A and B are shown apart, each in its own frame.
Chain A
């Protein structure tokens, strides 16, 4: 009897966490859909089949590098070139993943592996600003749902883009290019309001990124901005909120 109630509470807590994850992941879905559609259209024009371009979304799940990959395929670039460029562009996820799993220490590997595999700029940014769930009972379901929401939107959007072709008027799809940036801003500002030095860390990272992007690839410039900008946080965010 006692174990029954405990089981029941456990299940409902899992469901509760899962639902919260979907709700918090919803803005990512909104940001991903138009961009995934655009990717699908572009990849199709680049000469990839719908199966191939959808498979790329399933297996790679990294927006910018998929656009780049499709572009390079269209230009007839070699496989090694494309793979190396992808590595350079996506290496930033190593830094993000390190920051992310540091919060998830108490989850087992069976959670940390799939969750880290689903890490993108967007799922990381949203997860990293919701760290209290990591301490809660069944918190892993929160992150799982958040990532799945984004992942499904990305795959579905790519597929639709590939099937439907250029359905969205160009002006609208162009305007939607601002969506993810707006989401990043929408995530950052509340933290800045709580603690203004957070804004300073972000601005330092922006400037380092701008400086580095003058003489290195976009991928490494973002890595430098993130790593060095984050380092300024060691001094700026001292003692507050751990």
Chain B
């Protein structure tokens, strides 16, 4: 039963991922569509960060926000992504002590 669930989940996850690989060669996008697709990564990052970050500690949304603020600060200072991640983990760790 669980195997059937896994196969079903795999299919519905894989198919949307893979369809663009087949159709992109058949399509010539207008300039604005290319600009739209080029903006997708930034929009996706935004949508993935917020409001999800509020649920890092479900009962205390502020802690997620503060961890995010620490990440913004460290990234703004030009630190490597790895250090940004470690800094944010430390911030949340200290805030939940």
Interface residues of A (CB under 8 A from B): 26-27, 30-31, 48, 52, 55-56, 59-62, 65-66, 69, 73, 79, 82-84, 86-87, 90-102, 105, 109, 112-113, 115-117, 119, 121, 124-125, 128-129, 171-172, 174-179, 181-191, 193, 198, 201-206, 208-210, 213, 221-222, 225-234, 236-238, 241-242
Q: Please report the C-alpha to C-alpha distance between residue A105 and residue B28 in the assembled complex, in whole angstroms.
A: 11
- Candidates B38, B46, B85; contact of A182 at CB < 8 Å: B85
Closest to A100 in B: B20
- A residues less than 8 Å from B29 (CB atoms): 102
Residue of B nearest to A29 (CB): B82
Interface pair B76/A105, CB less than 8 Å apart: no
Chain B neighbourhood of A61, CB < 8 A: 13
- Please name all residues of chain B whose beta carbon is closer than 8 Å to the beta carbon of A181 when the two chains form the complex: 48-49, 52-53, 56, 64, 67-68, 71, 88
The answer, among A27, A60, A119, for a CB contact under 8 Å with B82, is: A27
Residue of chain A at shortest CB distance from B53? A181
CB distance A186 to B42 under 8 Å?
no
Q: 10 closest pairs, A vs B, by CB?
A: A233-B39, A202-B46, A225-B47, A229-B43, A182-B88, A205-B46, A128-B41, A189-B75, A186-B84, A94-B16
Q: Could you tell me if B6 and A55 are in contact, using CB atoms closer than 8 angstroms?
A: yes
Note all chain B residues with C-beta closer than 8 A to A69. Answer: 5, 9
25 A-B residue pairs with Cβ-Cβ distance under 8 Å, sorted by A, are A27-B81, A59-B10, A60-B9, A86-B12, A92-B44, A94-B17, A101-B24, A102-B20, A109-B22, A124-B44, A174-B56, A174-B96, A175-B90, A176-B89, A178-B53, A181-B52, A181-B88, A182-B85, A182-B87, A186-B85, A189-B75, A190-B78, A206-B46, A230-B39, A238-B35
Which residues of chain B come closer than 8 Å to A187, judged between CB atoms? 45, 81
The docked-state distance in angstroms from the alpha carbon of A109 to that of B39 is 24
* Interface residue total, chain B, C-beta cutoff 8 A: 72
| Cβ proximity bits B52-79 to A, threshold 8 Å, 1 near / 0 not | 1100110000001001101110111011
Which of A30, A101, A175, A178 gathers most chain B CB within 10 Å? A178
Q: Which residues of A contact B84 (CB under 8 A)?
A: 182-183, 185-186
Residues of A within 8 A of B10 (CB): 59-60
B17–A116 contact, CB under 8 A?
yes
Are B81 and A94 in touch, CB under 8 angstroms?
A: no
- A113's nearest neighbour on chain B, judged by CB, is B21
A228: chain B residues at CB < 8 Å are: 43
7 more contacts with CB within 8 A, not counting A86-B9, A231-B39, are: A73-B5, A79-B4, A82-B8, A84-B12, A202-B45, A205-B43, A230-B39
The answer to whether B72 touches A189, judged by C-beta atoms less than 8 angstroms apart, is: yes
Which of B21, B43, B70, B97 has its CB near the most chain A CB atoms (within 10 A)? B43
